[in-house]
Amino acid sequence: MSSVAVAGNVRSAAALHRRSEDRIAWLLAAPAIVLLLLFVLLPVVAVIFLGFTDFELGYGKFRLVGFENYAHLLTDRTFRRSLWNTSVYTAIVAPVSIVLGLGVALLIEGEPRARGFFRTVYFLPVASLIVAMATVWQYLFHPTIGPLNALLALVGIPGPNWLGASNTVLYSLSIIGIWQSVGFNMVLFLAGLTAIPRELYAAAHVDGAKSALDRFFLVTWPMLGPTTLFVVTISITNAVKVFETVKMLTDGGPNKASEVLLFTIYQEGFVYLRVGYASAMTVVFLAILVVLMLLQYRVLDRRVHYT
Amino acid sequence: MSALSLRGLNKSFGGNAVLNGVSLDVEAGEFIALVGPSGCGKSTLLRILAGLDHADSGEIFVGGRDMSAVAAADRNIAMVFQSYALYPHLTAGQNIAVPLAMKRLSRTQRLPLVGSILPGQKEIRTGILRDVREMATVLKIDHLLDRKPGQMSGGQRQRVALARAMVRHPSIFLMDEPLSNLDANLRVHARGEIVELHRRAGVPTLYVTHDQAEALSMADRVAVMIGGNLLQLAPPEAIYNDPAHIEVARFVGQPRINIIPALAEDGRVSFEGIRLALLEKVANGQVSLGIRPEFVKLSPSGRSGLGGRIDRLEFLGSEVVAHCRLDATGDIVIAKLAPHEARDLIAGMPVGVLLLPERAMVFGPEGRRLRTASAAPARQEPAYV
Amino acid sequence: MTSIPAGRIIRFALLSLGALMILAPYIFMISTAGKTQSDIFTSSLSLIPEHFYFAENFAKALSKVPMATLLWNGVLVCGMIFFFQVLVAIPCAYAMAKLKFRAARLMMVLVMLGLLVPIHATALPLYVAFDRMSLLNSYTSLVAPFTISVFAIFMFLQFFRAMPDDLIHAARLDGMSELGIVARVIVPNAWPAVTAFAIFSVVAHWNDLYWPLIVVSKQAYATPPLGLMYFRAAEAGDDYGALMAATLIITLPLVVAFLFAQKRFVEGITMTGLKG
């Protein structure tokens, strides 16, 4: 009998201990939970709700309008333009900066001496204030006094009005975007490259993979899979989030040729103060991010992790 | 003509000599174990053989052909790596197929996507698949061919690595500690298997290990390498019973050989009543006396032998290891005893320590073995008394 | 040994060419910051200014922009954000990683969801709320939304999971309370993760334009990017010499920090970049 009682005590003591540990855990996590609710979850719910209203800042009253905002989005030429421009920008910046980032990483990996120097140089834009560097780019791109067109004039090519013409502005912004993100991608790829076991390359040599290309396809590329997937997702996400350069340099112009998603949301919500309508746009923006994440986790993740 | 022959290989990294003029011949069908403590240069030697590293000087011949200018891929030397180095994104079958694909498919046929639609590659791929299956049957890994390395146990991975190395019938087989990542039971089992596979395939093998038991139990001949020098290359019994160098004697044998300082005087070595006549001329001075623990006897009465005291007794089941301190010199002498011999011993008690003089070996001041009159080479005698 | 293989030369040439393109904006920034207005208009390609005008341009930039205020605001805001982020994230991550916490799974879901939501998505309701509370143009509005970083929780969680449980068991046997363990065992051992996160956090918030642009309209609370925007829009116009000087001053702190602690920067970005 007594042994049973002791066992019961031990069990309840263990349960007590577990309960107290759980309580401490709640206490430790409480600030994070409260702030998470306050600054992430609640606002997301609010934005979804506001998307169904005609709320405008300054007017006290608002009413529910159902899918009216979304219906309006479909026909809104500015919004469609902005979605298209964001897609074009992303379609240029993400692939080019990924390929260049990988290329630079491979070149640096093989460079025995000046490796540290090159890594620093390519990474510099990541550590620089992009708003400030955008101003420098504006000067470089200046149609009359900019060095870029002066350089083109030397070889007899009439330089375009880079940021000032509606047919070149998006490409000019893309150049800045690529310049800014190559270093970031390079650093991620370098980390991925150093994580590849050296013995795999030795095995590839012994197995008869004679050319660098053979070894790239046999070892480097597949082993970089997880890194590449991550770089692709983050590059696309960052490109979709382009805002600073547009706000600083073009204000969406000329003629809405550089309207991008976040800039349009900013204009609608914080300049024209049409919060309801801007919320609907924000929901579209969030949906794009969700789709990107799902693509990463569900479809691609399984194919690049091997364990 | 030897299957593999190394001539005076030298290699140093940043001023540190890793290999000092290593020369070695592997005969056809032979299994040689290259053993030494970690950092002795054995893995470097293997990498140079495989063509992954280059020697500063020296020559390598495979079947009489000079290999110095031949790339790793063209040497037809297979290697099993310590970590197995299986490609984690490929299945076992695809892993085993890699060396064949590299050899049989052309460069364009190997390209991803493009390669699989080119004409003529289908027959080759079928051939490769057949050879992979055949190899898998030999190694009993048929059921694993569709699994990736991440889904296999250590022992299974090791077999796949072996299959990948053997599938292309290499002219030389190199193994770099292939068993060190397996647990103890599996390791003993795998030793037997590798020896069996070697006997069947007959490919000359150079097997690197730091484990002396592995080396002694598997190899036809054992090469002991210490500090970048190949100190002795001999059959296992000779390595144990007749070491050519003090470092070889120290490295091989568990518990370690007793090394006691002694004096050489006028062609004789003496230590506390032991006298050995040297067969070669040596300047008078300090030498070392080596005697394996199984040739040390203890007398509990303390009436015979050198006066000493038992520091510590280790009971190991089939044997007892006694650490004794000699009264006269303070040297520690280790004795390996049968349990019945150790029945009356307790730690701390005084004992008489008997060193069997006919089994003592003498090493010169630079470590080289010196021949003595009484201790004839023990090769013909039973190895373990 | 004297002949360098062609592959190395090509590789070096390619890398140098790329490096030059990366560095070009910096070179022109420094060069233009030292040019007179007329130099800028006539000789944009010569890198060395004809008349050294650095002092004048810098003086102009400093007189027209309250540079000290901007930099101080930047330091203050980034510092406070980082402080709160770490203060909130470390206990939470510890509870999730090392305690028997029934809500740990739910928290994990919240964290993963949170990772997905950038400030751009929550800005509208937050702006409305701050406006209602008359908190626009304050340090509170600049800092508050970033006090919770799910990224920090995620990162510390990974880091704590790799810490041996025995460390915590030993501390409990020594009689420490859970808070004591966090303060005296976990935090000191989490320094690598804390510095990596510090770099990530400071770079992100020092550079952020979106949120300050929304909640701040007075120069007194402007952060460096915002200040530069005001300066460019209002004062400078086409005075590129002064503009480049201002740009240089504002870019410098982070770039210098990067050059001094490069290894940490790269580690920090890599660590924060690669999940797991």
Residue C229 and residue A247: Cβ atoms within 8 Å? yes
B chain contacts of residue A203, beta-carbon cutoff 8 Å: 79, 81, 85-87
Chain A nearest-CA distance from B42, in A, is: 16
Instruction: Report the side by side order of strands in the sheet with B77-80.
Output: B77-80, B172-176, B205-209, B31-35, B221-226, B229-234
pLDDT band at C237 (very low <50, low <70, confident <90, very high): low
Chain A nearest-CA distance from B86, in A, is: 7
C chain contacts of residue A290, beta-carbon cutoff 8 Å: 116
> Whole-model pTM?
0.83
Domain that holds residue A4: 1-37
Do A96 and A25 share a domain, yes or no?
Answer: no
Residue B81 and residue A222: Cβ atoms within 8 Å? no
Q: Which of B82, B87, B150 comes nearest A219 by C-beta? A: B87
Residue B82 and residue A199: Cβ atoms within 8 Å? yes
Do A29 and A163 share a domain, yes or no?
Answer: no
C258/A126 Cα distance (integer angstroms): 10
Residues 7-66 of B with CB under 8 A from A: 47, 50-52
Q: Is residue C199 part of a domain?
A: yes
Q: Read off the pLDDT of residues B104-161 as tens digits, 9 standing for 90 and up.
A: 888 778 777 777 777 778 888 888 999 999 989 988 899 999 999 988 998 899 999 9
Do A233 and A282 share a domain, yes or no?
Answer: yes
Q: Read off the pLDDT of residues A274-307 as tens digits, 9 standing for 90 and up.
A: 888 999 999 999 999 988 888 877 766 666 666 5
Q: Is residue A59 part of a domain?
A: no
Q: Read off the pLDDT of residues C86-122 as tens digits, 9 standing for 90 and up.
A: 999 998 998 888 888 888 888 888 888 888 888 888 8
Do A232 and A115 share a domain, yes or no?
Answer: yes
Instruction: Pick B237 or C195 by higher pLDDT.
Output: B237
Question: What is the pLDDT at residue B381?
Answer: 40
| Chain A contact probe: residue of B102, B173, B181 with most A CBs at under 10 A | B102
Pick from C39, C62, C85: which residue ends a domain?
C62
Average pLDDT in chain A: 86
C269 HSE (CA, 13 A, CB side): 25
End-to-end Cα spacing for chain C: 43
Do A19 and A141 share a domain, yes or no?
Answer: no
End-to-end Cα spacing for chain A: 51
C chain contacts of residue A184, beta-carbon cutoff 8 Å: 269, 273
Residues 123-182 of A with CB under 8 A from C: 123-133, 135-137, 139-140, 142, 145-147, 150-151, 154, 179, 182
Do A150 and A202 share a domain, yes or no?
Answer: yes
Residues in chain A: 307
Do C209 and C125 share a domain, yes or no?
Answer: yes
Q: Is residue A168 part of a domain?
A: yes
Question: What is the pLDDT at residue A262?
Answer: 92
Do C32 and C145 share a domain, yes or no?
Answer: no
CB atoms under 10 Å from CB of A5, counted, come to 9
Residue B85 and residue A203: Cβ atoms within 8 Å? yes
Q: Which of A197, A208, A219 comes nearest B73 by C-beta? A: A208
Residue B52 and residue A206: Cβ atoms within 8 Å? yes
Taking Cα atoms as reference points, which of C177, C180, C110 lies closest to residue C149?
C110
Do A222 and A135 share a domain, yes or no?
Answer: yes
> What string of DSSP letters covers chain C?
--SPPHHHHHHHHHHHHHHHHHHHHHHHHHHHTT--HHHHHH-SS-SS-SS--HHHHHHHHHHHS-HHHHHHHHHHHHHHHHHHHHHHHHHHHHHHHHS--TTHHHHHHHHHHHHH--HHHHHHHHHHHHHHTT-SSSHHHHHGGGS--HHHHHHHHHHHHTS-HHHHHHHHHTT--HHHHIIIIIHHHTHHHHHHHHHHHHHHHHH--HHHHHH--SGGG--HHHHHHHHIIIIITT-HHHHHHHHHHHHHHHHHHHHHTHHHHHHHHHHHHS--
Q: Is residue C241 part of a domain?
A: no
Q: Is residue C20 part of a domain?
A: yes
Determine C/B contact with 3+ CB pairs under 8 A as the test. no
pLDDT band at A99 (very low <50, low <70, confident <90, very high): very high
Chain A nearest-CA distance from B287, in A, is: 44
pLDDT at C239 over 80: no
Which chains share 3+ C-beta pairs under 8 angstroms with C? A
Q: Read off the pLDDT of residues B182-226 as tens digits, 9 standing for 90 and up.
A: 888 888 888 998 999 899 888 999 999 999 999 999 999 999 999
Do C30 and C126 share a domain, yes or no?
Answer: no
> What string of DSSP letters covers chain A?
-HHHHHHHHHHHHHHHHHHHHHHHHHHHHHHHHHHHIIIIIHHHHHHHHHTTB---TT-S---B-TTHHHHHHHH-HHHHHHHHHHHHHHHHHHHHHHHHHHHHHHHHHH-SSTHHHHHHHHHHHHHS-HHHHHHHHHHHH-TTT-HHHHHHHHTTPPPP-TTTSTTTHHHHHHHHHHHHHHHHHHHHHHHHHHTS-HHHHHHHHHTT--SHHHHIIIIIHHHTHHHHHHHHHHHHHHHHT--HHHHHHTTT-STTTT--HHHHHHIIIIIS--HHHHHHHHHHHHHHHHHHHHIIIIIIHHHH---
A chain contacts of residue C12, beta-carbon cutoff 8 Å: 111, 114
Taking Cα atoms as reference points, which of B155, B149, B219, B217 lies closest to residue B186?
B155
CATH number at residue C122: 1.10.3720.10
Q: What is the mean pLDDT of residues A14-23?
A: 75
Do A132 and A218 share a domain, yes or no?
Answer: yes
B272/B285 Cα distance (integer angstroms): 16
Q: Which of C94, C128, C228 comes nearest A57 by C-beta? A: C128
Closest-CA residue of chain A to C98: A25
A201/A218 Cα distance (integer angstroms): 9
Closest-CA residue of chain B to A221: B89
Total structural domains within chain A:
2
Q: Is residue A19 part of a domain?
A: yes
Residues 6+ apart with CB under 8 A from C21: A179
| Chain A contact probe: residue of B89, B103, B160, B181 with most A CBs at under 10 A | B89
Q: Read off the pLDDT of residues C45-96 as tens digits, 9 standing for 90 and up.
A: 777 776 777 777 787 777 777 888 888 999 999 999 999 999 999 989 988 8
Residue A241 and residue C118: Cβ atoms within 8 Å? yes
- Number of A/C CB contacts below 8 angstroms equals 270
Domain that holds residue C126: 65-236
Do A23 and A105 share a domain, yes or no?
Answer: no
With 0-12 CB in 10 A as exposed, 13-18 as middle and 19+ as buried, what is A221? middle
The residues pairing with B290 across neighbouring beta strands, listed in sequence order, are B259, B361
Determine C/A contact with 3+ CB pairs under 8 A as the test. yes
Q: Is residue A222 part of a domain?
A: yes
- The tokens for B328 are 């006269």
Do C57 and C144 share a domain, yes or no?
Answer: no
Do C109 and C129 share a domain, yes or no?
Answer: yes
Q: Which domains does chain B have, with CATH numbers?
A: 4-240 (3.40.50.300), 257-370 (2.40.50.100)
Chain C nearest-CA distance from A1, in A, is: 32
pLDDT at A124 over 70: yes
Q: Which of A32, A131, A262 comes nearest C92 by C-beta? A: A32
| Chain A contact probe: residue of B86, B90, B110 with most A CBs at under 10 A | B110
C245/C61 Cα distance (integer angstroms): 6
Chain A nearest-CA distance from B73, in A, is: 4
Do A13 and A118 share a domain, yes or no?
Answer: no
The residues pairing with B233 across neighbouring beta strands, listed in sequence order, are B223
Do C10 and C143 share a domain, yes or no?
Answer: no
Q: Is B178 on the interface with A (CB under 8 A)?
A: no
Do C89 and C51 share a domain, yes or no?
Answer: no
Closest-CA residue of chain A to C253: A128
- The tokens for A132 are 């400030």
Looking at residue B373, the DSSP 8-state letter turns out to be S
ipTM: 0.85
pLDDT at C255 over 90: no
Chain A nearest-CA distance from C19, in A, is: 6
Share of chain A above pLDDT 70, in %: 92
Residue A217 and residue B79: Cβ atoms within 8 Å? no
Total structural domains within chain C:
2
Do A137 and A275 share a domain, yes or no?
Answer: yes
Question: What is the pLDDT at residue C173?
Answer: 86
Residue A217 and residue B110: Cβ atoms within 8 Å? yes
Question: What is the pLDDT at residue B38?
Answer: 83
Q: Is residue A54 part of a domain?
A: no
Chain C nearest-CA distance from A220, in A, is: 17
Closest-CA residue of chain B to A202: B52
B235/B341 Cα distance (integer angstroms): 31
Q: Is residue C266 part of a domain?
A: no
pLDDT band at C170 (very low <50, low <70, confident <90, very high): confident
Q: Read off the pLDDT of residues A45-88 as tens digits, 9 standing for 90 and up.
A: 999 998 888 888 877 778 888 888 888 888 888 999 999 999 99
Q: Is A226 on the interface with B (CB under 8 A)?
A: no
How big is chain C by its Cα radius of gyration, in Å?
Answer: 24
Beta strands B31-35 and B205-209, pairing class? parallel
Beta strands B77-80 and B172-176, pairing class? parallel
A chain contacts of residue B73, beta-carbon cutoff 8 Å: 205-210
A156/A152 Cα distance (integer angstroms): 6
H or E element: which one contains B157?
A: helix B154-166
Do C89 and C136 share a domain, yes or no?
Answer: yes
Question: What is the pLDDT at residue A130?
Answer: 87
Q: Which of C21, C88, C103 comes nearest A31 by C-beta? A: C88
Do C80 and C163 share a domain, yes or no?
Answer: yes
C chain contacts of residue A262, beta-carbon cutoff 8 Å: 120, 210
Residue A214 and residue B102: Cβ atoms within 8 Å? yes
Question: What is the pLDDT at residue C17?
Answer: 93
Residue B52 and residue A214: Cβ atoms within 8 Å? no
pLDDT band at A260 (very low <50, low <70, confident <90, very high): very high
Which range among A5-19, B64-78, B162-176, C254-268 shows the weakest confidence by mean pLDDT? A5-19
pLDDT at A17 over 80: no
Q: Is residue C180 part of a domain?
A: yes
With 0-12 CB in 10 A as exposed, 13-18 as middle and 19+ as buried, what is B247? buried
Residues 6+ apart with CB under 8 A from A233: A292, A293, A295, A296
Whether B78 and B168 have beta carbons less than 8 Å apart is answered as yes
Closest-CA residue of chain A to C238: A139
Do C113 and C54 share a domain, yes or no?
Answer: no
Instruction: Pick B244 or A253 by higher pLDDT.
Output: B244
pLDDT band at C16 (very low <50, low <70, confident <90, very high): very high
Closest-CA residue of chain B to A197: B85
Q: Is residue A62 part of a domain?
A: no
Do C69 and C56 share a domain, yes or no?
Answer: no
Q: Is residue A45 part of a domain?
A: no
Do C17 and C117 share a domain, yes or no?
Answer: no
**Ranges of chain B whose pLDDT falls below 50:** 375-385
Q: Is residue C16 part of a domain?
A: yes
Question: What is the pLDDT at residue C273?
Answer: 52
Residues 235-294 of A with CB under 8 A from C: 241, 243-244, 247-248, 262, 265-266, 269-270, 275, 278-279, 282, 285-286, 289-290, 293
Looking at residue B232, the DSSP 8-state letter turns out to be E
Q: Is residue A140 part of a domain?
A: yes
C chain contacts of residue A135, beta-carbon cutoff 8 Å: 228, 232, 243-244, 247
pLDDT at C2 over 50: no
Taking Cα atoms as reference points, which of C38, C16, C3 lies closest to residue C241?
C38
